[in-house]
Amino acid sequence: MARRLGLRARASIANARPLSALPHLSVVICSIDDERFGRISANLAQRLSGISHEVIRIDDASSLAEGYNRGLDRSRADLLIFCHDYIELLQTDVAARLLAQLKHHDVVGVAGTTRLMDSHWGSAGAPATHGQVLQPLEGNEGYVLNVFCQDDDARDASHHNIQALDGLFIAARRDAALALRFDAATFDGFHLYDLDFSFRAHLAGYRVGVCHDILIYHQSNGHKDAVWQGYGVRFEDKYAAQLSREPAGPPLVYQVRVPDKAGGLAAFSRVMKGEMVFR
């Protein structure tokens, strides 16, 4: 039912505009910070220069779910990205990598899990967690490459059967995004909208994946404060019957300290080539 509704919505929107005017990719960003938005816009212009795209800024979102829904309604492309304003796409060929992933998936991200236990996608531990992200070290003394998997799938371009994704970067096909939308009623703040969106995609039978070949710098280490925990309770109440009850695996995160972003990208390239193996 969700797929049929999404396809009908997609058809009605496409019929309302000349197809020749549509961009290939729409990027939706909720940002109240001009400096941050300027940086991510410049990064996107550089990394997506090979394909037609639009960047939609929502600067007055009452929540990320509400803002993303508004951006989705304003968007025109068949492929969408929902991302934070403090990320940086590091690879020059990231557009080609992403488009290749969206040929085989309905929703993709760069970090997530094949088994969701609670309101944190990493709780199931290894080997359920997948993906990678470059983040600053505490105190801004360098960077750390976090790799959430190291198994036979680690060098493949993607991992399938993902149940939930981190919200720093989520891309989706338009029909899936329209059918799912973001739950702005339950998640009326800035937390857990991402797990809700991606877990509902999984439960509805959409193809959800983690891109193992895309590296993003995320200028945040995340802080699970009392507000986050409150939304975590909402999430776990909503999905009490669907969450996994199996025991968690070891909380393995393989980390490589690097002096700069270029070093992080070089280390990741070695991981992808199998030259760097974690034990």
Give me 215's structure tokens: 């590296």
| For the chain, domain boundaries | 2-242+249-273
2-242+249-273: CATH topology: Spore Coat Polysaccharide Biosynthesis Protein SpsA; Chain A (3.90.550)
What is the Cα–Cα distance from 109 to 90, expressed in whole angstroms?
A: 15
CA–CA dist 266, 92 (Å, integer)? 13
Q: How far apart are CA 243 and CA 164, in angstroms?
A: 11
Q: pLDDT by residue for the chain (279 residues), tens digit each?
A: 444 334 333 333 333 444 446 789 999 999 999 999 999 999 999 999 989 999 999 999 999 999 999 999 999 999 999 999 999 999 999 999 999 999 999 999 999 999 999 999 999 999 999 999 999 998 778 999 999 986 544 456 667 899 999 999 999 999 999 999 999 999 999 999 999 999 999 999 999 999 999 999 999 876 788 999 999 999 999 999 999 999 999 988 999 999 999 999 999 999 988 887 665
CB 37 within 8 A of CB 85: yes
- What pLDDT score was predicted for residue 221? 74
Taking alpha carbons only, the member of 102, 101, 103, 127 closest to residue 113 is 127
State which amino acid sits at residue 262: A
Which helix H or strand E contains 138, and what residues bound it?
none
CA distance 56 to 278: 39
Spatial separation of the C-alpha atoms in residues 187 and 236, rounded to whole Å: 12
Per-residue confidence (pLDDT) for residue 278, from 0 to 100 = 67
Closest CA to 211 of 278, 267, 154: 154
